[in-house]
């Protein structure tokens, strides 16, 4: 069992000896050169590292990057103009040189993320996003923002400009911003963007802190539990107690249009309805009759000279008194002739 393990270890050591780690370098914020040799895996031994820029002397690393007690990289200072020169590196293990390489670092400059990122409403009612950059000259910026946690929307900001504006933002929406930077084409045109800055947000309660959480009261969960228990008990009582259900939820009667009594259609007592439909006025009957005249010849009236005809109407009476003519033999021909006589009407 031990023999295969020993053989495997020997083979791995040979592979590592045949394939030394590759060294990769970049300039960070135009101030330091960072070189690492663990991209293909952690090295099995500690290497020594030396480097120099063109026309400079070789120097050993004084600031190693260490992981699990194994050297994996090195940091060294540099100047802004050094990025335009070739950079030489040598990786050794003991007295053996394992890697020797020349690096062109002009396009491998990585800036630090912008700092002091803020967002606020300006005097023009627009939303302004500001940031600071350690090297404001020859720097391109890219801003990304999102509204209400929707996908990010990115936009380019012109060189040397350290602000971005959103016109007339909605106070009912939440805006979140981030920014990153890189060297412009006129100053080297780096291919590497910086990391995104810390996010800032504005909206809802106009807060710019993305980690703000509303404080939860201790009584909030208690009120939720009590409310749920009360609702369950109320439902049980309504299902079990018929009388309580009728009191809390009274049944509204449905009127029947086929009811023979109109009093059933209205929510009033029958006595009140009957009193309301009684007539409250009196009207006297008024009989109507036609006048009938009797011929003098047909009557056996003695020497009485007056004929009276009376008609009753409502609360008035009409009395008609006629005088007999001297010639009693002349009959009454018409009402007009009699009116020419001495006709007297008394009311």
Under 8 Å between Cβ of 131 and 179:
yes
- Tell me what pLDDT residue 168 has: 87
- Bridge-based pairing state of the strands 109-110 and 24-28: parallel
Q: Name the 3-class secondary structure at 18.
A: helix
What pTM, to 2 d.p., does this model score?
Answer: 0.54
Burial of residue 181 (CB within 10 Å: 0-12, 13-18, 19+) is buried
Between these two residues, 318 and 282, which has the higher pLDDT value?
A: 282
Highest mean pLDDT out of 157-171, 243-257, 259-273, 301-315: 157-171
**CATH topology for the 24-109 domain:** Immunoglobulin-like (2.60.40)
Separation of CA 286 from chain center: 79
Q: Do the domains at 24-109 and 112-186+194-203 have one common CATH topology?
A: yes
Under 8 Å between Cβ of 54 and 85:
yes
Domain ranges of the chain: 24-109, 112-186+194-203
Residue 291 has pLDDT above 80, yes or no: no
Q: Write the pLDDT tens digit of every residue in 121-173.
A: 998 889 999 999 877 678 899 999 999 999 999 999 987 789 999 998 988 89
At the top level of CATH, the class of 112-186+194-203 is mainly beta
Element holding 246 (H helix, E strand)? helix 242-248
- Tell me what pLDDT residue 346 has: 39
């Amino acid at each position: 069992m031990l023999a295969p393990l020993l053989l495997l270890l020997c083979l791995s050591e040979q592979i590592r000896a045949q394939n030394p780690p590759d060294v990769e370098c970049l300039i960070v914020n135009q101030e330091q050169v960072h070189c690492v040799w663990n991209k293909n895996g952690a090295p099995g031994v500690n290497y020594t590292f030396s480097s120099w820029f063109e026309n400079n002397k070789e120097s050993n690393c004084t600031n190693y990057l260490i992981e699990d007690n194994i050297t994996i990289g090195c940091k060294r200072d540099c100047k802004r103009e050094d990025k335009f020169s070739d950079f030489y590196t040598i990786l050794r293990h003991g007295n053996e040189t394992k890697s020797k390489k020349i690096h062109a670092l002009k396009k491998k400059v990585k800036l630090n993320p912008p700092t002091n990122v803020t967002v606020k409403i300006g005097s023009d009612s627009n939303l302004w996003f500001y940031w600071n950059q350690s090297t404001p000259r020859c720097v391109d910026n890219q801003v990304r923002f999102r509204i209400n946690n929707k996908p990010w929307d990115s936009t380019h900001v012109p060189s040397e400009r350290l602000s971005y504006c959103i016109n007339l933002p909605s106070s009912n929406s939440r805006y979140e911003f981030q920014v990153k930077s890189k060297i412009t084409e006129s100053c080297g045109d780096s291919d590497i963007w910086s990391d995104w800055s810390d996010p800032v947000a504005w909206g809802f309660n106009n807060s710019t802190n993305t980690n703000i959480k509303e404080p939860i009261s201790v009584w909030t969960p208690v009120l939720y539990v009590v409310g749920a228990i009360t609702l369950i008990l109320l439902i049980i009582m309504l299902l079990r107690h018929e009388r309580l259900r009728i009191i809390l939820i009274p049944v509204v009667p449905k009127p029947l249009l086929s009811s023979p009594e109109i009093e059933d259609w209205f929510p009033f007592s029958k006595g009140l309805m009957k009193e309301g439909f009684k007539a409250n006025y009196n009207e006297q009957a008024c009989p109507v009759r036609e006048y009938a005249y009797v011929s003098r010849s047909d009557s056996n009236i003695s020497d009485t000279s007056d004929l009276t005809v009376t008609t009753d109407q409502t609360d008035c009476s009409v009395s008609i008194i006629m005088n007999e003519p001297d010639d009693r033999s002349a009959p009454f021909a018409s009402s007009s002739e009699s009116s020419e006589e001495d006709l007297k009407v008394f009311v």
